[in-house]
Structure 1
Amino acid sequence: MNETAAENYRRRMARVLDHIDRHPDGDLRLETLAGIAAFSKFHFHRQFGATFGISVQRYVNLSRMKRAAFALACRAEMPVIEIALAAGFQSPDSFAKAFRAEFGTSPSAFRKAPDWAAWQTAITPYDNARKQIMTADFHRADLEIVDFSEVPIIRLTHHGDPAALNGSISRFIAWRKANRVGPQVARTFNVFHGVEPEDVRVDLACQAMPGLEPGEGMERASIPAGRCARLRLVGVNDELEAPATWLYRNWLPESGETLRDYPLFCERSNFGPGLPESEMVADLFLPLA
């Protein structure tokens, strides 16, 4: 397969993933998705499995379950039946059965005490599938040198087991909601102090607005001003390892730049449990001397 044909093939498969992402409660039958890819339905299911290492129906189920799990944990105001319908299920009973099959617990029990380790294990095939086709091909044109202005923040630092990170995220979101400082009000940041496989240290942070007080286990800090290489990422949400690796391994040695003594960080400007992943925006900042 030549390069042009391979890119066309990749685009057609990416179009299917984007459709699933945007229409969790829509018609996601095999025939519909094959038509979106412009492939024969007789071969599409085999093509999908060969490309992503997972069947198309399993991918659809995990896509819906991932969205539903985040809504349960982070959107306490949404009734379970509303989450079920938004995830493409016709009734709470069918949703509960599917949810238990994937995560080993009921939706209501997960809402009360999310088991993020079980969640991560369950959705790993989905994440791995997306990596097969959604990995961005980064270029120097995607990057801009900017002068970042200092931002005072309130941060919750997660340090330890990466499987527990989503629990910290849920706690931070709950604090933001209680204080009415959602993403539309205060800027959102992550600061990556260390990303060892079994020992993650990352700040979950938002802009410190006037009168906003830190919650339990949180503290005031600031992201300092300075020159940064900024890489804008669209449709790359959870998986930041690939763009970070490209910055350090490919761009930095060729740039002639030197690094400043502050860790890699990102600003998330368009994100949320109900937003299609293809529309999420994050700016990844590499601090420069």
Structure 2
Amino acid sequence: MTAGISAPGRPSIRARTLRTDRWWLAPAVTAASLFAFVVYATIRAFWNGAYYAPPYISPFYSPCIATNCVPGSETIYIFGDWWKLSPALIILIFPLGFRLTCYYYRKAYYRSFWASPPACAVSEPHRSYTGERRFPLILQNIHRYFFYFGLIFNVILTYDAVIAFRDADGDWGHAGLGTLVLLVNAALLWLYSLSCHSCRHIVGGRLNHFSRHPVRYRMWTFVSRLNARHMLYAWLSLFWVAFADLYVAMVASGTISDLRFF
């Protein structure tokens, strides 16, 4: 029996859509925003400079684990002298993988770049659809593992925000605008991670009776509230991490001076 769009009795509409509103605006803005971030992140990743202004380190380069890191910015040497490229190319693999496989970002770039579909009630240009059952989209299923790595980086970036309460000589009890920038960056990344769909499933999934697991139920309820704003946290954290990198870069390059509060 023929079903779907070819079912008998369905009207034959050749137009891609009958919508008269600006349905294309949302995917266009999304595509432009994501493209701008990718371009900026790529430039900064290959720049290999202006990422450390004591005590601030760019989130794109933290933790710096190669021997070619700027002195003072290194956390632990894992990649030896053989690594000649930018240290950011090692680090960005994990947060980028987490974002690329994120459930919200899948929707965002499926609609904006692949037009699959570009909007509700708008037909897509593809003749066939295989979903995420074949290569390369089947790799989206590793999102949960990138989530675990993302939590590790959140801890590291939170540590960076804490040590930003030092001055250039390493003395505690100081704070500047860069401290506030890194604190907000860490907070937004935690909100983005904890509102993740995978996080919601981890804390409350596979339970038949919430009444028998009151602690996990409270956790699931909290994460569910955050999950309702996952899209908002995704965008805020994306733009802020780029802003945090830009601020550190401008201070490190001498373009601006860090505003010290105390």
Scaled by the length of structure 1, the TM-score of the pair is 0.30
TM-score, structure 2 length as denominator? 0.32
Whichever of the two has the greater Rg, that structure is 2
Higher strand share: 1
Higher RCO, Cα 8 Å, sep 6+: 2
Higher helix proportion, which one?
A: 2
